[in-house]
Structure 1
Amino acid sequence: MSGRGKVRVGIGGWTYPPWRGSFYPEGLAQSRELPFAAQTFGALEINATFYGRQSSTSWEKWAASVPDGFQFTVKGSRYCVTRPKLADAGEGVLNFLNQGLDALGPKLGPILWMFAARRAFDREDIARFFDLLPASLNGLPLRHAIEPRHESFRDEHFEQLARDHNAAVVFGDDDDFPCIDLNTADFTYSRLQRMKGDCPTGYSASRLRQFADRARLQVDGGKDAFVFMINGAKAKAPQAALALQDLLGIARS
């Protein structure tokens, strides 16, 4: 690995009423919220894809609404990750990938596969699931991130499987699930979910500095870093992401 990576800070989605007037300017048309958010942040995580397919025109519209250099990350379908055996998800993975997301082209970032909290590590089943995740789609390179939410994934065999497939393991700052902090891919994926409503920037200044230092180490080591402010006090997500961007010196327009 050579060179310096790129850090992209973002939020989960772009349509959330409490952001109107606090992040989005008063009177901004809802149709302009995606372009505004994409000019402000380096990435957005799409959650709707977890629940259902999106139309081909939606993918095309989203791609046309954001600037070059911006990336969407896409949450993989629940129909793939909630079945009893992940090894049986092959058809679901293909259906998910073939819904039109390749219309994003280089604006497609990592695909996030979030496991159910009850799913324990099964070495054979997880290995077969990794084998279902292609490295490209119609010539477009794909990156995959895995979010395990069960303590049993703190296992050297899982770490090696993820490394063998260049899959990132999500760093989750979360009150409810274990944070399995592993270095397994040429990119990193963080989901920060402990924002507090009584803090103007969601996270304290000291905690934001820790996240900034972590991202700097990753990009200095040649990795691309994706950092999302997701849950907790969601109304504060844009302010938290803006504050982190300021610390990293990557403030956008």
Structure 2
Amino acid sequence: MSGTAFVGTSGWRYPRWRGDFYPGGLVQRRELEYLAERLPSVELNGSFYSLQRPESYRRWRDSVPEDFVFAVKGSRYVTHMLRLTNVGVALANFFASGVLALGSTLGPILWQLPERVEFDPEVLDAFLDSLPRTTGSALALAREHDARLNGRAWLDIESDVPLRYAIEPRSESFRDPHAVEILRAHGVALVLADTAGRWPAFDAVTTDHVYVRLHGSTELYASGYTSAELDTWADRVRQWRDGTGEDGMPRDVYVYFDNDARGRAPHDAVALDARLR
């Protein structure tokens, strides 16, 4: 049995894509629907900048097929301001904001760390331990939201199912083997990020899924991927998906292109997805 590869883009609302990836005249509210007809997944990144509203999550879910998958980027308040410490209320607010309204389309939750957050074993272990492991436990945590979410919280789930997480460090200190041990102990994926050499590329596989973010191979957020580069990434994804790597374990693989500055992301994502099909 093989895993499944979910290829998509980091976000979908970019003016540069209009009249290029998106056909001229396509109304903005249908852009996600158009993307979801061509790709199996997308990384929802507005949740990184601010708490979204339940009606937004419901609208996004209603715009995609039932088997579509949203990866959700965790709040930067947790990662950049609190730096993974004393995060109880912030996590409650995040899960109460509507994330659970995605229902069966909810995929992994990504925590992107700033470069200044270095590896601290106690901090990392405590943070990962605080993450709810199922939608049921996430709902219980969401009920502890503070007054900011009064009247706008989503406190409902369709079923109690496992949650997946990925963490994207940008400090070389996470090269420490102890960091990998902690991630494996908690079943959290260590993101493999291609950042044109700007930040470290960690390639340790730490759980039953792999999370890849492609920010550009030669120019951060801007450069496209050549046909040869896409072939190489397709081979790597197949190894993880089909279990032909060292441990022989098939894994689900999530790959998101973030090289959107010149509109390359959706084209590269469609090209990689085609190779994997």
Q: TM-score range by the shorter chain?
A: over 0.9
Matched, 1:126 2:100: no
**Which amino acid letter does the alignment assign opposite residue 35 of structure 2?**
A
Q: Distance in 1 between matches of 2:172 and 2:2?
A: 32
Give the CA deviation at 1:170. Answer: 0.6
Matched, 1:193 2:221: no
Q: Distance in 2 between matches of 1:237 and 1:185?
A: 26
Instruction: Write the deviation string for residues 170-209 of structure 1: whole angstroms up to 9, x where unpaired.
Output: 1000031101111101111100011579xxx921111111
> Counterparts of 1:82-97 in structure 2 under 5 Å?
82-83=80-81, 85-97=83-95
Give the CA deviation at 1:14. Answer: 1.1
Matched, 1:226 2:224: no
- Most deviating of 82-91 and 158-167: 82-91
Partner of 1:64: 62
For structure 2, the residue ranges without an aligned partner over 5 or more in a row are 137-159, 244-249
Q: Distance in 1 between matches of 2:39 and 2:134?
A: 26
Q: Tell me if the contact between 2:71 and 2:110 (Cα under 8 Å) persists in the aligned partners.
A: yes
Pairing partner for 2:11 from 10, 13, 20? 13
Q: Tell me if the contact between 1:168 and 1:184 (Cα under 8 Å) persists in the aligned partners.
A: yes
Matched, 1:99 2:120: no
> Counterparts of 1:1-253 in structure 2 under 5 Å?
3-83=1-81, 85-138=83-136, 139-175=160-196, 176-194=198-216, 202-221=224-243, 222-231=250-259, 233-249=261-277
Q: Tell me if the contact between 2:83 and 2:117 (Cα under 8 Å) persists in the aligned partners.
A: no
Q: Which runs of 4+ in 1 moved over 3 A?
A: none
Q: Distance in 1 between matches of 2:276 and 2:92?
A: 37
Give the CA deviation at 1:132. Answer: 1.0
Q: Tell me if the contact between 1:5 and 1:224 (Cα under 8 Å) persists in the aligned partners.
A: yes
Secondary structure at the residue paired with 1:194? coil
Instruction: Write the deviation string for residues 103-129 of structure 1: whole angstroms up to 9, x where unpaired.
Output: 111100100000111111011111101
Give the CA deviation at 1:84. Answer: 5.1
How many corresponding residue pairs?
244
Q: Distance in 2 between matches of 1:114 and 1:196?
A: 21
- Most deviating of 107-116 and 85-94: 85-94
- Most deviating of 138-147 and 181-190: 138-147
Q: Distance in 1 between matches of 2:128 and 2:118?
A: 15
Secondary structure at the residue paired with 2:71? strand
Give the direction of change, closer, same or farther, for the CA distance of 1:29–1:84 in structure 2 (3 Å limit): closer
Q: Tell me if the contact between 1:195 and 1:232 (Cα under 8 Å) persists in the aligned partners.
A: no
Q: Tell me if the contact between 1:195 and 1:234 (Cα under 8 Å) persists in the aligned partners.
A: no
**Which amino acid letter does the alignment assign opposite residue 126 of structure 1?**
L
Give the direction of change, closer, same or farther, for the CA distance of 1:243–1:137 in structure 2 (3 Å limit): same
| TM-align CA RMSD | 1.6
Give the CA deviation at 1:246. Answer: 1.9
Give the direction of change, closer, same or farther, for the CA distance of 1:118–1:232 in structure 2 (3 Å limit): farther
For structure 1, the residue ranges without an aligned partner over 5 or more in a row are none
Q: Distance in 2 between matches of 1:44 and 1:247?
A: 18
Secondary structure at the residue paired with 2:12? coil
Q: Give the fraction of aligned pairs with identical amino acids, expressed as a percent.
A: 43
Secondary structure at the residue paired with 1:88? coil
